Chain A
Amino acid sequence: MSVEEQVIENAKQGKLLTHKCTKCGFLHLSTAYYCLKCGSEGFEDVLLDGTGTVATYTIITVAPAGFEKYTPYAFVVMNVDNSDLRISGFMANIATPEDLPVGIKAKITGFDERGLLIEKQ
């Protein structure tokens, strides 16, 4: 399974696959092949619960092809619990900023043609 396929399969279980540097311990998303901090190559897989808080987001009304039928929707950047990582994803049924205060709890719920799916907890 490719690295991206592994991310997708874990997201479908509500999990976030991450890579922990075996030399310095720095935690990365699993698409990292070399450590951002120390440059080394060895990683161990760490599976995180795909929970977190909304760091920032936008509500998209003018969408790229394939996403028109979902508007309005949110593209969300989420702070991942128990880490310094963030992950981006698609959130359905968000129409106004009142629907999604920054800082609200959220979680990964799947992966489909809309990419990685995030919902409010």
Chain B
Amino acid sequence: MRFVEKVCVLGAGSTKYGKLADSIADITTQASVAAIKSAGIEPKEIGASYISNVFGIADKQVHIGPVLMSRLGIPDKPSLTIESACGSGSVSFREAYANIAAGFYDCLIATGVEKVTHTGTEWTTTYFAYCSDFFYEGQAGASFPGLFASMARAYLTEFDATEEDFAAVAVKNHDNGVLNPKAHMQKKITVDDVMNSAVVASPLKLYDCCPFSDGASSVILCSEKFAKAHGGDYIEVTGSGRGGSPAALQGREQMTTIPSTKIASEAAYKMAGITAKDVDFAEVHDCFTIAEVVDTEDLGFFDKGQGVQAVREGRTKLNSDISINPSGGLKSKGHPIGATGIGQVVEVYDQLTGKAGARTVKDAKVGLTHNFGATGASCAVHVFQSV
């Protein structure tokens, strides 16, 4: 592939994640303004927007892009809304990245948003099930916790792992989330808390599951020329990869691996000219504890089946071998599904520009984001380096 421009992230901002009272249009704008101010640019310098959102209809607002652009005083600038289930943010980021790389724009805004908690647990569970291969899965009563629970049981059957090992992932991510003022669940928990929490879909319990969250995150992408001329803190996007998997779990050769993660990460590593060993920290898609274990294997950080051993040995804790989810991850930071992939980039920007406070990964130079839709049917991975 040949690119016209190197692509940078020049600014980043998020709302707090959690149960938010403000409307979807309000929080979209709040995060976008935070990113614009972080970048130190004027809205009129933005060429277009990429909006990631799945269930805008739940808050009576689809076609959010023009609403955002109108509020930013640039209603003449184009926008595009992108849906790829829980992976919408990373796919939207990739589209913005590609448009800068190709030279179509010098500066873009990518904002992700979700506003669903007001619909309640039953309806949020129902809406999310529409992201499955509905004919085979959602129609037969599968919820998303249920699909990942099916992966978890397959993992427990195939490898030397226990439910306590999965619980340890939640404990670690909550430890990190306590250090993140934007996190939904700023609360330390223990393995016993997880094991004693209510079963949602066996073997997964409430504390194995990320919360339903509202929230918005936004980043400013630009060409290296634009970033240098501008002079603010920026990081470089050095790798970008996407991949796909069979939509239903039943169609995968193994149900303990997510093919799209492997495809996307291999492409991103190749473009960045690195291997998994060069990654200092990673924001990975831990919608459920089992997912983080599977992700860290599929991304090449650990061999297949060894992800739980790494958790047991504390090798994924903050400032250990490889810091996994220093933000607290989806599990503790929260999972506003359209925002999550962009929120991961916000964390990487903050980490690599010295803005991560108490959860700073020491001496980090290379960060990775990994975000997928549904049970990993779609996935995008990005690699970032400090400059």
Contacts and interface: CB of A to CB of B under 8 A. Distances in A.
Contacts of B248: 88
A61 B199 contact: yes
Interface string B144-160: 01110111111001000
A116 B200 contact: no
A19 B146 CA distance: 28
Contact of A58 (B126, B129, B201): B201
Contacts of A68: 122
Interface string A11-24: 00000000000000
B330 interface: no
A102 B140 contact: no
A55 B129 CA distance: 21
A32 B199 CA distance: 35
| Nearest 3 Cβ contacts at the A-B interface | A115-B140, A58-B149, A86-B250
Contacts of B157: 56, 102
Interface stretch (B85-93, B131-139, B223-231, B300-308): B131-139
B141 interface: yes
Interface string A87-99: 1111000001100
Contact of A4 (B125, B135, B249): B135
Interface in A81-117: 85-90, 96-97, 102, 114-116
Interface residues of B, number: 37
Interface in A1-46: 4, 7, 29, 31
Interface residues of A, number: 34
B202 interface: yes
Contact of B201 (A55, A61, A70, A89): A61
Given A56-B151, A97-B202, A64 B138 contact: yes
A57 B147 CA distance: 8
B202 A63 contact: no
Interface of B: 121-123, 125-126, 129, 135-143, 145-147, 149-154, 157, 198-204, 248-251, 255
A85 B154 CA distance: 16
Interface in A32-80: 55-68, 70, 73, 75, 77
Given A4-B135, A88-B140, A115-B141, A64 B250 contact: no
B247 to A, nearest CB: 10
Given A56-B157, A77-B150, A63 B250 contact: no
B138 to A, nearest CB: 7
Given A56-B157, A102-B153, A62 B250 contact: no
A64 B202 contact: no
Contacts of B129: 64
Nearest to A101: B157
A101 to B, nearest CB: 10
B144 to A, nearest CB: 9
Q: Is the interface of B mostly helix, strand, loop or mixed?
A: helix
A75 B142 contact: yes
B146 A60 contact: yes
Contacts of A114: 140-141
B121 A77 contact: no
A60 B249 contact: no
17 contacts: A56-B255, A57-B153, A60-B141, A60-B143, A61-B199, A67-B141, A75-B137, A75-B142, A77-B150, A77-B255, A86-B250, A88-B249, A90-B141, A96-B202, A97-B203, A102-B157, A114-B140
A66 to B, nearest CB: 8
A88 B143 contact: no
B329 to A, nearest CB: 21
Given A58-B150, A62-B125, A87 B250 contact: yes
A4 B134 CA distance: 12
Given A58-B150, A87-B136, A114-B140, A77 B145 contact: no
B141 A57 contact: no
A114 to B, nearest CB: 6
Contacts of B135: 4, 7, 31
A81 to B, nearest CB: 15
